[in-house]
Amino acid sequence: MRSLRAAPPRAAFSALGTTAVLLVTDGEALADGERLLRAGLAEVDAAYSRFRDDSEIMRLGAYEGRAAPVSPLLAEALDAALRAAAATDGLVDPTVGQAMIDLGYDRDFALVDPDGAAPAPRPAPGYWRVRLDTATRQVVVPRGVRLDLGSTGKAFAADRAAARIAALGCGVLVSLGGDLATAGPPPEGGWLVGVGDDHRAAAPGDPVVTIRSGALATSSVTQRAWRRGGRAVHHIVDPRTGDLPAPVWRTVTVAARSCVDANAAATAAIVRGDGADAWLDGAGLPARLVGHDGRVVTVGGWRSHA
């Protein structure tokens, strides 16, 4: 997802295995905004990166099913992940960590082995097995369950960063590799955002949308892809099987009040496959779905400029 309006001051840098982009309506806030964004993403990485042995979420395994204290940040991120799982009937599930490892996504994507043997897929244990007490900030993760916040973690970080930076007194857009959150007053005419398979570069025919508030998120199977067990695989897993979802939709973009809600819905739509367009429409979520056959379906009042 790419902002196409040139006027707002902009900062961009690599973070969380993707590109972080910050736009603000007030140039005087850019330096402080970038500082807040960098600091916030560093906190997120330390709290729930699956690719750091010393991250807080990876250390939960040492508790072997016993209650573990967690930081306020991880408690909030886990709560968002569990709420997203419940809202999508488990189609987005943070207990898919082992399934991701089995598919070969066991390190930062830039370092993923381009091919290798793959064990037989196994369904995810189920998000309902994770017990989180937000009041005491304690979590129980069953022994052997590996958590992965890939379907909500960047979106949560975008929501959190946008809200913090907007407190500087300006309008803000934060994009983390296709997960885009806004806060504060938008620029005149709104934020113009290009939508496509790849957030890094526009393709001919990619539509443009106007965002005045809320969030936009795109889930796609075309970008983080590699080979495993002699077949093409990607980073979106069906928790019901522990394997890839049926190849119905290649890219889904959803608008919602929060980036967590938007990304959870977009990912769930890819996992759901057939009927995902009707599901999103019934939820009242503006969305654009692109099939593996190239067909484009829009629902929920989706409007684009091209």
Domains in the chain and their CATH numbers? 2-45+154-299 (3.10.520.10), 49-140 (1.10.3980.10)
Say yes or no to pLDDT of 303 above 80: yes
Share of the chain above pLDDT 70, in %: 86
Looking at residue 144, its amino acid is: G
Q: Which helix (H) or strand (E) holds 98?
A: helix 97-102
Question: Please, which residues have CB within 8 angstroms of residue 242's CB and are 6 or more apart in sequence?
Answer: 96, 98, 99, 102, 121, 122, 123, 124
Which candidate, 73, 88, 156, places its Cα nearest to that of 128? Answer: 88
Provide the whole-model pTM. 0.90
Burial of 91 (0-12, 13-18, 19+ CB in 10 A): buried
For position 109, what pLDDT does the model report?
52
For position 115, what pLDDT does the model report?
63
Q: What is the mean pLDDT of residues 195-217?
A: 79
The three-state DSSP-derived secondary structure of 215-232 is: EEEEEECCCCEEEECCEE
For position 5, what pLDDT does the model report?
44
Indicate the pLDDT class of residue 99, thresholds 50, 70 and 90. confident
Indicate the pLDDT class of residue 4, thresholds 50, 70 and 90. very low
Token pair 């949560």 in the structure block, residue: 156
Token pair 């980036």 in the structure block, residue: 259
Q: What is the mean pLDDT of residues 149-175?
A: 97
Q: Which residue has the higher pLDDT, 63 or 116?
A: 63
For position 200, what pLDDT does the model report?
56
For position 203, what pLDDT does the model report?
61
Which candidate, 213, 236, 220, places its Cα nearest to that of 286? Answer: 213
Average pLDDT of the chain, as a whole number: 90
Q: How far apart are CA 271 and CA 235, in angstroms?
A: 11
Looking at residue 90, its amino acid is: G
Backbone angles phi, psi at 140, to 5 degrees: -115, 115
Q: How far apart are CA 203 and CA 1, in angstroms?
A: 11
Q: Which residue has the higher pLDDT, 131 or 226?
A: 131
For position 229, what pLDDT does the model report?
67
For position 295, what pLDDT does the model report?
94
For position 236, what pLDDT does the model report?
87
Per DSSP, what are the bridge partners of residue 234? 225
